[in-house]
Each structure stands twice: as structure tokens, then as C-alpha cells.
Chain A
Amino acid sequence: MIPAPFDYEVAESVDQAVELLGSRDDAKLLAGGHSLIPLLRLRFARPALLVDIGRMDDLRYVRDAGEQLAIGAMTRHNDLQHNPLVQEHTPILSHTAGLIGDPQVRHRGTIGGSVAHGDPASDLPTVLTALDADLVVRGPGGERTVPAEEFFRGVFETALGPQDVLTEIRIPKLGAAGWTYVKFTRRAQDWATVGVAAVVRRTNGTIDAAAIALTNMGPTPVRARAAEGALKTPDDAAGAANVVAQESDPPTDTSGSADYRRHLATVLARRALEEAISR
């Protein structure tokens, strides 16, 4: 399969990328290409110009920023999986990155591309939503920071404008919190039928705070507030899991019906909460 024709420019800086995006109608960024190239091949996407930011190694980093980790948008899934800072401070991100696709995909795909693409079946956006990450965006009007929960707007829709570049992801360090991401797939290498991210802070017999977010249970990552509120003690995992699908609006597709997904989310949420509580 051969994509429709397009022009191609390599951006050497974020400012240059912003400028190039503004130079044509229907210009698009190219990062790892592992969502975009499949769409180009099928001709579902036919941009006039691709602006390649894949060589901007200065956007490929993980830095300790005090209370937070700062991760450059071009950091690859394989980097997240193996980076010692990510493993230490946000182990849920490294665990989840290791569940994406397969090694070949993880060698190319980037966290920035995953987030910017806005695919509700993607894993990292759910985890970033559960972690209350901040997304740093540079556009023609300068830089702004968007909380993950406000970033995802719909299927393939985000807060990014046509000339915006996502540059950095800032994630609060997890400290002693328990965590997990549970992903259900029908076959190896598949996207999640449903995924559940859980982060739980506890002191002995009480849960101080819980964050639960769901993959592929609606047009964007879904924050399960009702279930978070229902988790007051470590014994509440099953009860909280029962209301986990309350805010969701799951799709029906070849991997499962909406009802099946609601049921699956309940089962996975119980497992995830039990694991996060005991960690």
C-alpha cells in the first residue's frame, strides 16, 4: 500500500515546527509514525505536508523536576519502559509502556504521538489521566499547560490546535502510592478491549485517595469518580469496581459490545484495585 502524495520537511526546533505547520493548510506533524503511517497507507489521512519532528533528540528526555518528572514528547515507549527515573518515580508508566503493541512498535512510538493522536484505545492517555499529568503545548501564541483531564476532547480530538506542538509531559511522582494498569486484549499485540489504571494512597486501614481511569470505555479516557469515592477502605475494592463503569460510554465493535465492556471493566477494576491496594 502506498500513501497519497505529500510534501515532507524536517523540523529542527519546536519553533520551526510551529512555523512549518502554519505554512500550509492541512500540514501534520510526524513523530514515530506508528499511528500516522498506518492511516497514510490506508489513505484515511492525506495531509499536504508532513513536518518530521522525529529527529529532535532534544525532545527525547526524562528529567527529575522536583515534585514531578518531566518527559519530552519524543521519548519513545521503549525509553519509558527502561528509564530508571520513570521506573523509580512513576513505575505505572514504565509498566504500561511495556504493554503497548510489540517491541518493534515500542522502538518507534512516542509518548507525545500517543497523547496527541487522541485514540481512546491508547494506553498512555489513560494512565496520564489517572496521574493528573500536565501537558505542555507550544503554539503560535507561546506556551501553555493543559491538565490531562481537559486535554482529551473526543475520538481523535484533543486540545491541540493545527499549529500546536506537544513538547513535554509533567507527571507528579507517585511516592509510596500503590498502582497498576490492567489491560485486556483478545490476542497478543492487540489494543486494549478495556484497560484500567488505578493509583491508591493508603495509611494502614484507610484509603486516603484513589484515582481510577479507563481505556476504551468512551471517546476519551474516562475518570471513574464514583468508584474513586466508593473506595474508603482496602475492603471496598469489589464495591468500588461495581460502579466503575458509571461515567463511561463504551463503544460496540468487533472486540466487544458496550455491555460486555461494562462487565469487563468491573472485573478488571476489581483486580486492579486489589493489586494497587496490596502493592
Chain B
Amino acid sequence: MLAPNFPGRKEDAVRRVSITVNGAEHDLDLDPRELLVYVLRERLGLTGTNVGCDTSSCGACTVLIDGESVKSCTVLGVQADGQEITTIEGLATNGSLHPVQEAFKDTHGLQCGYCTPGFVMATVSLLRETPSPSEEQIRHGLEGNLCRCTGYHNIVRAVQQAAGVGV
């Protein structure tokens, strides 16, 4: 476990939690005010999950909890006790990209890439709930994620490719 270097940590409030991240179980002593995104980034070193806004708006921090997309800046680490988290680092298997990652790469669904981990995770969750989405369903389904570069067009194409629906 990484050193708990959390500023102003409230020792008497600390809780022991057990969180499974990308298949590995971690027992952590968390100050309850630690947001999940910082637990992932600063305790576990999983910096693929980005912080864009810190105000629940941009979706850059999207991860999966028990398979469902959530904004990890809006979840307390202690709320994830006993749950399974998947981050962008957990998608590739044996060195091969996940089909959604592959599709973003193929269709040029990114420019600076800052929003991309969030979009990829939101897409994985969307396709789990709606395996063959229409273009409208894709655009609505990614409403919680902002991209300042691409204009979204190629992101929609990436999702269509990953879903195997008409491009």
C-alpha cells in the first residue's frame, strides 16, 4: 500500500476498506473524505483516470463500479468498499487493446487524449446496456463526457465501430 500522505487526514475517522481494482484486491485505510478518483490516482498510482473539472461535469474521471459508468470524482473511496472497479488500465488483456480502445485509435476518436479514458469507460458501459445503439443513443449515452478537441464526430464513429453498427 502506498504511504497515506493525504493532507489534513482525520485519523479518528479513518476506515479500513477493501476495494477490487482491475481484478486486484486492495485493503486501504481511507479518510472518508478521500474521493475515489484520488484513491485510484494517488494511492494506487492508476493515473490513467483523469480529473478534468472536479465538479461532476466533464466525465474525464469515469470508471466502472460493478460494470456501470460513474464519475469517480463524485464517489467517496469508502463508498466503494467491497466493490469491483475497472479503470482504463484494466481494459487491455495480455497486451491487446480492448475493442473500444482499438476503435478510438482506428477512427481517430481523440486529439489531445485527455478526455479519452473517460470516453472509453463510458462507452464500455453504454455498450453493455445498449449493445447496438443508434447514433442518437450514442450521443445521448455520452452526454456525461466533454471533449474540447474532436467535435465528437469521430468519437461517435469509434463507438459505432466498437458496436459493429453501421458507420
Contact = CB atoms under 8 A, between A and B. Distances in A.
Nearest to A1: B54
B127 to A, nearest CB: 12
Contacts of A175: none
B125 interface: yes
A229 interface: no
Interface string A42-58: 00000000101010000
A78 B128 CA distance: 14
Interface stretch (B20-28, B31-39, B94-102, B157-165): B31-39
Interface stretch (A4-12, A146-154, A165-173, A194-202): A4-12
Interface string A108-125: 100000000000000000
Contacts of B68: 78, 107
Contact of B13 (A7, A104, A188): A7
Most buried by B among A30, A54, A105: A105
B122 A103 contact: yes
Contacts of B31: 5
Contacts of B34: 2
Most buried by A among B34, B56, B81, B125: B56
A34 B78 contact: no
A62 B83 CA distance: 23
B154 interface: no
Contacts, number: 92
Contact of B59 (A41, A104, A107): A104
Contacts of B62: 104
A189 interface: yes
Nearest to B53: A1
A129 B104 CA distance: 44
Interface in B15-57: 15, 31-35, 38, 54-57
B interface secondary structure, majority: mixed
Contact of B71 (A5, A7, A40, A104): A104
Nearest to A98: B140
Contacts of A10: 81
Contact of B69 (A1, A3, A104): A104
Nearest to B69: A104
B148 interface: no
A258 interface: no
Interface residues of B, number: 39
A256 interface: no
Interface in B54-72: 54-57, 59, 62, 65, 68-71
A5 B76 contact: no
Contacts of B144: 101-105, 189
Interface string A217-257: 00000000000000000000000000000000000000000
Given A37-B75, A188-B143, A6 B70 contact: no
Contacts of B59: 102, 104
A54 B65 CA distance: 14
Contact of A34 (B35, B74, B122, B145): B74
Most buried by A among B62, B70, B125, B129: B70
Nearest to B64: A107
Contacts of A52: 78-79
16 contacts: A1-B55, A2-B35, A6-B10, A8-B76, A30-B79, A33-B76, A33-B79, A37-B35, A37-B56, A37-B74, A37-B75, A38-B74, A41-B73, A104-B70, A104-B71, A107-B65
